Structure 1
Amino acid sequence: MAWRRSRSAPARSRRPARHGRHGRVGRSPVVRPPLPPLDTRIDRFDLTVGTAAEFLRSAWEELREVSFEIGDMPPATDADGIPRWAVLTDQKRIILYRVPLERLSHLHRNDDLHRRMMIEGAVFRAAAQYLGKDPWDLGPDRFRYF
């Protein structure tokens, strides 16, 4: 005799397709792995220029009112090629151009320390041009250990 399901009895409910055999497929983990910090090349450039500018402002009173700005590219080239910075003494502004500094500088060792030193050197040279001094006169104790 064949077994028959009565029509009045409810049909067995099936699990939704999102569950696996043991009911755990499709669940997301409670704790995700830590994400790397959002640290971009532009952020590192801004931070390096900012720290060097603050050092120079604290050491030289003539630079306290000077605005250190960051531009992507210079508006035009000059006789020497593509400028790395622009010094506007009448407006009390120093503009450092990020792309030429990063792309056209030749580092003998391509790591974070040498990139930072190259950017700081550009800030010091631009500030020295603004003041009419030698870059080594601006921070003689800063590079003593290198």
Structure 2
Amino acid sequence: MQSSHHDSGFTVRLADPDAPLDVTGSVPARSFAQRRRNRHGRGLRGELMLPTLPAYRTRSDRFDEFVMDSAQRLHDIWGKPLDGVRFAVEEIPPNLEQLVADRSPAPLGSYTPPTEDEGPVITLYRRVVEQACPVPEELQDLVHDVVVEHTAEMLGVAPETLDPVYRRRY
């Protein structure tokens, strides 16, 4: 794969394992990710966790799955009114330092109304939700409740009418 700047004769050639040898007859150097072990032979020989094990997914991956499951559940119940709604996950809310300085609680999520360019966005703040959850086993329920609350705010209905099991699990 070659890339060249149109003004000068400068070209860049990225290493391609299937590419023929260069003019010096040497094999292009492999990147660190392609090497199995480090140069002293002491590196990892394989993956630490197999993809089939539960610990393979990170906390962030699990949180994203919780948000997508909740959004899919609401979409299955309500359908058309939720078309075009984007669900996003951010680590922390913007201006968190100012919220802490004012001693006000950090929001668990936010709703951004639609603009001319894009539809409505419901954002959950992963770190804040994880901190607010007293028991890790209840994280999925709390995530679902936050999604329901902000979706209800968007639709202008009560959260109990949006999802019949809202806050009935704990």
Larger CA Rg, structure 1 vs 2: 1
Cα distance change on mapping 1:82 and 1:140 into 2, 3 Å: same
Task: State the partner residue of 2:32.
Answer: none
- Structure 2 unaligned regions, length at least 5: 1-48
SS at match of 2:124: strand
TM-score under structure 1 length normalisation: 0.64
Give yes or no for contact 1:72–1:99 (8 Å, CA) kept in 2: yes
Give yes or no for contact 2:133–2:142 (8 Å, CA) kept in 1: no
Higher relative contact order (Cα pairs below 8 Å, separated by 6+ residues): 1
SS at match of 2:69: helix
Task: State the partner residue of 1:96.
Answer: 124
TM-score under structure 2 length normalisation: 0.56
User: 1:86 aligned to 2:104?
Assistant: no
Give yes or no for contact 1:76–1:82 (8 Å, CA) kept in 2: no
After superposition, the C-alpha distances for 1:54-73 in whole angstroms (9 at most, x for unaligned) are: 11122222111110111111
User: 1:68 aligned to 2:96?
Assistant: no
User: 1:42 aligned to 2:60?
Assistant: yes
After superposition, the C-alpha distances for 1:30-56 in whole angstroms (9 at most, x for unaligned) are: xxxx84340221111111100100111
After superposition, the C-alpha distances for 1:85-115 in whole angstroms (9 at most, x for unaligned) are: 1101124111111111111x142xx242x11
User: 1:122 aligned to 2:146?
Assistant: yes
Task: State the partner residue of 1:55.
Answer: 73
Q: Give, in whole Å, the separation in 2 of the partners of 1:106 and 1:68.
A: 20
Q: Give, in whole Å, the separation in 1 of the partners of 2:85 and 2:158.
A: 18
Q: Give, in whole Å, the separation in 2 of the partners of 1:101 and 1:95.
A: 11
Q: Which letter does structure 1 place at the counterpart of 2:128? A: P
Moved >3 Å (runs of 4+)? 34-37, 77-80, 141-146
Displacement, 1:140?
A: 1.3
Cα distance change on mapping 1:106 and 1:43 into 2, 3 Å: closer
Displacement, 1:138?
A: 0.8
Q: Which letter does structure 2 place at the counterpart of 1:127? A: T
Q: Give, in whole Å, the separation in 1 of the partners of 2:77 and 2:122.
A: 17
Q: Which letter does structure 2 place at the counterpart of 1:71? A: E
Name which of 134, 138, 145 aligns with 2:162: 138
Size of the aligned set, in residue pairs, is 109
